[in-house]
Amino acid sequence: MPEKLMQPEVWLPDKPEEACGVFGVYSKQADYGASLASYLGLYALQHRGQESAGIVVSDGQQLMTHKGMGLVANVFHKDILDNLQGACAIGHVRYSTTGSSLLANAQPLVARCSKGAMAVAHNGNLVNTEELRLGLENSGSVFQTTTDTEVIINLIARHSQDTLADAVGKAANQLRGSFSLVVMTKDTLIGLRDPSGFRPLCLGRLEQNEAYVIASESCAFSSIGAKFIRDIKPGEMVYMDRHGLQSYQYLSEPVRKAVCIFEYIYFARPDSAIDGLGVHQARKKMGWELAKQFTKAADVVIPVPDTGRSTAIGFAEASGIPFDIGLIKNPYVGRTFIQPTQSMRDLGVRIKLNPVESVLAGKRVVIIDDTIVRGTTSGKIIKMLREAGAKEVHMCVSAPPITHPCYYGIDTSVRKELIASTHEVEEIRQYIGADSLTYLTLAGLARAVEPLSGFCYACFNGDYPVEVPGKVARNKYLFEE
C-alpha cells in the first residue's frame, strides 16, 4: 500500500458537499402565508445545506427577516412564522463554500439601495468574486460579509438608474461561475439561472393562491401543494409582480451549457426532476451501466443509504443479483466530522450506519455508493461489513474517479486530498479493503443521463467549462499547497 494513503489526523467529510438551496414564492393574495410556504419548501430542500437557514418576507411595504445557524426545524417555530406575515418571500438553506460558516454569512442577505430594500439568496459559487469585490471596494462599496452573494447585491445596486429586471440582468452578465438566484423587493420576485445552467432552478404554480413558486428542486413543490411548470432555462430570468409572470433571456453572449452532473449522482433528491430527467431514473440507469462493467460473482446487492439506493436497484435489475438492505441509516444523526480522537472518528460511521448481519453473513456482497472522495468512509464501511460476516465485499461507485477540484459550488477541497488524483484504482481498492472496486466510466455516466447532454464533468476530467482565474485555481489545484 502506498505510504501516502494514511488515515488523516483530522477527519474530513468523505462526500462532496453542496452549496445551498433556494426558494421563493409570490402571491397576489395579500393574506397568503408566504413564510409557512417557504418553511415547508426549505424543509424539502434541507439536504442541500444544513449549516444555516433563513427566510425574508414582504408584506408589500417592508421586508422582515429571520435566519439562524442550524436546521430549518431548529431555526424556525410557529411564533416566528406567525410574525413573518406577507404574500411574497424567499428562503435559503446553506452549506458554505465561499465565506465562513457564520451567522453573518447566513442568507438571504438584505440590503438597501436606491430601489429600496432588496433581498438575495444564492446557490452556487462565483470564480471571479475577488476581482469583482476589489473593483467594488475601490469605488466605495463596504462589505458586511465574506460571501459572494453580497458582491451580487452590490452589483445590482450599481445599476440603480435601470429597471430592476435590467439591473439584475446587467449584474448577472458580470458574474462568472455558477449561480441560481432569487431576488426580492417589497413587491417583486425574480429568479434566474446562470448561463451555463450549473445549478438547477425550477418554476411552479399554486393555482388556488394565485401564486408562483421558484425552487432549487421540484421536490419542494409537492410539500406545499404546488404544481411543477417547468425548469428555468440557463441564462433565463423570470420576473413576478402584480402584473403577472414575465420571462427574459439576460445573456449578453451565448456560453457553453454545463449542468453539474453531481446533481444527478448525489445532490438532488430522487423524487426531483432536473431539466426534464427524473433523478431516480438517472440513478437507476447508472446502476444498469455499472452492472455491465461488473465481472465478479455475488450473492446480494446493498446500497449505502440514501443516495446509493436508486443505483443499487438498477444494478440488481440489470445483473440479476438480489437487492437487499444491508445498512440501516440512523435518521436522527447530524454531521459527525469534528471528532477529536481516532477511536471517536472510527465510531462516527457506526453512529450513522449499522449493518444487518442476517443479510450479510456468509455472503459475497456488492455495495453501491455514489462517490469516493478521500476513501476514509468507504474503508470504515467495508470493515464494518466484514465484521458483520460478509465473505467478500465488492465496491461499485456510480461516478468516475474524482481527480480534479470543483470551483463552481461543490466542496471537493484541494486536489491533494482527492484520493483518485494521485492513486490508481488498484491502490484505492487496497486502501479501502475491498475485494474489487468498480468505478462507472465517463461514457457509462453520459449514457445514464441520456437524452440530455451539456454537463460539467470537470471533476472527472479537468475540462472546466468556465475559465477559472489562476489564483483561484492554485488554491485548490496544487498538491502541496
Q: One of 20, 406, 456, 459 is an active-site residue; which one?
A: 20
Q: Which helix (H) or strand (E) holds 123?
A: strand 116-126
Amino acid code (one letter) for 294: F
CA proximity to 26, closest of 162, 168, 223, 185: 185
> Residue 83, SS3?
coil
Is the CA virtual torsion 267, 269, 271, 274 positive or negative?
A: negative
Amino acid code (one letter) for 266: Y
CA proximity to 14, closest of 295, 481, 374: 374
Q: How many whole angstroms separate alpha carbon 127 and alpha carbon 466?
A: 9
> What is the per-residue burial (b if ≥16 Cβ within 10 Å, else e) of 292-319?
eebeeebbbbbbbbebbbbbbbbbbebb
Q: How many whole angstroms separate alpha carbon 466 and alpha carbon 481?
A: 23
CA proximity to 136, closest of 108, 111, 105: 111
**What are the grid coordinates assigned to 308, written together?**
446509493
Alpha-helical segments (H) within 60-163: 72-75, 78-82, 129-138, 148-158
DSSP state, residue 264: I
Q: How many whole angstroms separate alpha carbon 21 and alpha carbon 34?
A: 17
| Cα–Cα distance list, 386 to 165, 328, 347, 357 (Å) | 59, 16, 16, 10
Look at strands 177-185 and 116-126 and give their pairing: antiparallel
Q: How many whole angstroms separate alpha carbon 415 and alpha carbon 124?
A: 20
Is the CA virtual torsion 88, 219, 452, 17 positive or negative?
A: positive
**Phi, psi (degrees; rounded to nearest 5) at 65:** -125, 140
CB atoms within 10 A of CB 367: 26
Active site residue 459: no
**Phi, psi (degrees; rounded to nearest 5) at 398:** -85, 30
Q: Which helix (H) or strand (E) holds 137?
A: helix 129-138
Give first-to-last CA distance, the chain, whole Å: 24
Q: How many whole angstroms separate alpha carbon 168 and alpha carbon 190?
A: 9
For the chain, how big is the Rg over CA atoms in Å? 23
Q: Which residues are catalytic?
A: 20
